[in-house]
Structures are given as C-alpha cells and as structure tokens.
Copies of this chain bind each other. A is one copy, B any other.
C-alpha cells in the first residue's frame, strides 16, 4: 500500500498544509503522541480503503479519555505504507510528525515494537474501522495487545487504523527508534540524485542503506494466503545475469522474514530484507509480488535495539517459529 499511502498523504498535505518534523524533545512532555499505523492483512487494504475519518475518531477518543491534547503523530512502523501514511494523518490532525518510529522497519505483530522491548506497558491501544466503530484496549501486556487487537481487526474486516502504546512524549523518550523519517527522506534524495546523475538506482539505494545485495533475479513463484489478519507465504526468486543458476527463497508474514539459498540462511529477522524493483529500486511489498518481476533482494542490519536479548526474543527468528539461530546479516553474508 505504499503507492496508496503516498497518494493520500500527498493529498492531505495539499489540503491541510505542511507538517513540521520534530523530535520528542521538541514536544510538550505531557502532551500525547499517537503512534499510528494500519493493522491487518495488506492484501485486504488494497481492496477496502479507509474512510479517512479513522485518525480523527482515534484522536477524539484519546483526548476525551485522557483529558490531554494529542500533540503529535508518529509512525508505528516506518516500513511500507505505514511509514508514509502518518504524514498525511498528521496533516489532517494539524499536528507535527515525530522523526522516529517504533520499529525502524516493518514487523507484522503488535508487540514487535521498541516500546515493548523497552519494557513499556502497552497502556492504551485504539482501533478505528472504516464503518466508524472505535475500540480502546487496556491489555495486561504486549502479547495480549496482539491477541485482542488482531481479533478486533479481523472482525472489523481485516484492516483498521491502530494507535498503540499511546503515551506522553516524555514517557516515549528513549523507547523509540529515532531519525527514521529523516533516513527515509535521505533514501528518497539519494534515488533522485542517482536519477539526475544517470547512476543505477539500486546501487544508490544499497550505498545509502549500507545493504548487501543477496540476489538479482526474477520472481519465479509466489505462494500467498490471507487469513487470521495476516498475509503468509513464500516467494522464490531465480537469479539472472551474474546470479544465473542461483535461487533464493524468502518466507513472509506481511513482511520478509527469512532469505534462504541452498539451505543456508542468508539473512533473517530482525535484520531487514527488502525486495526492490531492479530498474527503479522501488520497494515491492509482499502483497504486490507477482510472477516475472525483475527484482533485487537487499539486506541490511536492523536497529541495535533488536539485537539485544529482549529484542531477539521479541522479533528474532524464533519469535516467528523458525528454529534457526540468528546470525547478523553482515556475518552471514561475509
């Protein structure tokens, strides 16, 4: 949903004006920050569009319940459409966007956030759906926030706008991954500069991210099923050019989880694996994969938080059911 999110964010910016980019320190410390993102199966959000009122419903409910103003929006996850959409939502709500997120990437489950790893109470979780229903949850812990929010999201039609770990700017300090909006902007600039200089887009992206290229090839098979509020499956990419004769398999649950070649793990969560268009370097999201696409698979190190014991327990291979040890991508690829 990156394209859809970019379109709706662009429209909101034209309609409501520019959005200041701020740090948590810039904000009134007792003001509420809304970490926003869509929960559900991305395949569903291609067909059922939001009403546009979801963010206002959540903001109004939070302010009524907490008696304090919402002073900023933050992306829950900087990856995919969820990294772009909060910009438009901040414009709609007339508040700044925090230059941070709670993942430094995308993850499929509610508890896979820096705030959970940092030991914060999930506090208040809100969901709003396309019909106009709103739900507020006070789960006993982060795992129950996933259980309850996922069940609600499925009942709401398998996609909903969610604000989780709703707390004040002061409480969020130190529990987010900072600078990720700035990083996203620098990626965009690097791609623009490469185009102007007639350089390869993928090479420019790789340099900006410090990423290794696992394979360049074409999509040979996609197996994907939508259920329980997720998209799960796997994709097979056959090498072309210098990579001819090689084959990479990537396991997915909304996001790319593990890349395997010849039975060897080449990269895995929590490190980042991205499938990008070999020509334009545009990200190809798991729900947009299709047979024959020419793609390059990049991998690069996650934020340091995810490599701590608590980070790996939350979003390492075992957290997704893979019985493999985590090997940092820079070592696996060396």
Interface stretch, picked from A75-83, A98-106, A151-159, A284-292, is: A151-159
Complexed CA–CA distance, A154 and B150 (Å): 11
Whether A136 and B135, one on each chain, are in contact in the complex, defined by CB atoms closer than 8 angstroms, is: yes
Contact of A133 among B140, B154, B156 (CB under 8 A): B140
Say yes or no: is A328 at the interface (Cβ < 8 Å to chain B).
Answer: no
For window 27-41 of chain A, which residues contact chain B by CB distance below 8 Å?
none
| Interface residues in chain A, defined as those with a beta carbon under 8 Å from any beta carbon in chain B | 61, 64-65, 131-140, 144, 147-148, 150-152, 154-156
Smallest CB separation, A68 vs chain B (Å) = 13
Complexed CA–CA distance, A147 and B134 (Å): 13
Smallest CB separation, A312 vs chain B (Å) = 26
Whether B155 and A61, one on each chain, are in contact in the complex, defined by CB atoms closer than 8 angstroms, is: no
Complexed CA–CA distance, A147 and B127 (Å): 14
Complexed CA–CA distance, A151 and B138 (Å): 16
What residues of B have a CB within 8 angstroms of the CB of A144 in the complex?
131, 133
What residues of B have a CB within 8 angstroms of the CB of A138 in the complex?
61, 133-135
Smallest CB separation, A130 vs chain B (Å) = 10
Whether A136 and B139, one on each chain, are in contact in the complex, defined by CB atoms closer than 8 angstroms, is: no
What residues of B have a CB within 8 angstroms of the CB of A136 in the complex?
135-137
Smallest CB separation, A194 vs chain B (Å) = 47
Whether B152 and A148, one on each chain, are in contact in the complex, defined by CB atoms closer than 8 angstroms, is: yes
Complexed CA–CA distance, A152 and B138 (Å): 12
Complexed CA–CA distance, A135 and B153 (Å): 13
Smallest CB separation, A240 vs chain B (Å) = 45
18 contacts between A and B (CB under 8 A): A131-B140, A131-B144, A132-B140, A133-B137, A133-B140, A133-B144, A134-B138, A135-B138, A135-B148, A135-B152, A136-B136, A147-B155, A148-B152, A150-B155, A151-B151, A151-B152, A151-B154, A152-B152
Complexed CA–CA distance, A155 and B155 (Å): 11
Contact of A151 among B131, B132, B137, B155 (CB under 8 A): B155
Complexed CA–CA distance, A13 and B1 (Å): 56
A126 nearest CB neighbor, chain B only: B136
Whether B140 and A137, one on each chain, are in contact in the complex, defined by CB atoms closer than 8 angstroms, is: no
Closest 8 CB pairs of A and B: A151-B155, A136-B136, A134-B138, A151-B151, A132-B140, A133-B139, A135-B137, A131-B140
What residues of B have a CB within 8 angstroms of the CB of A148 in the complex?
133, 135, 152, 155-156
Smallest CB separation, A233 vs chain B (Å) = 24
Complexed CA–CA distance, A144 and B132 (Å): 10
What residues of B have a CB within 8 angstroms of the CB of A139 in the complex?
133
Contact of A135 among B131, B132, B135, B156 (CB under 8 A): B135
A137 nearest CB neighbor, chain B only: B135
Smallest CB separation, A204 vs chain B (Å) = 45
What residues of B have a CB within 8 angstroms of the CB of A150 in the complex?
155
A156 nearest CB neighbor, chain B only: B148
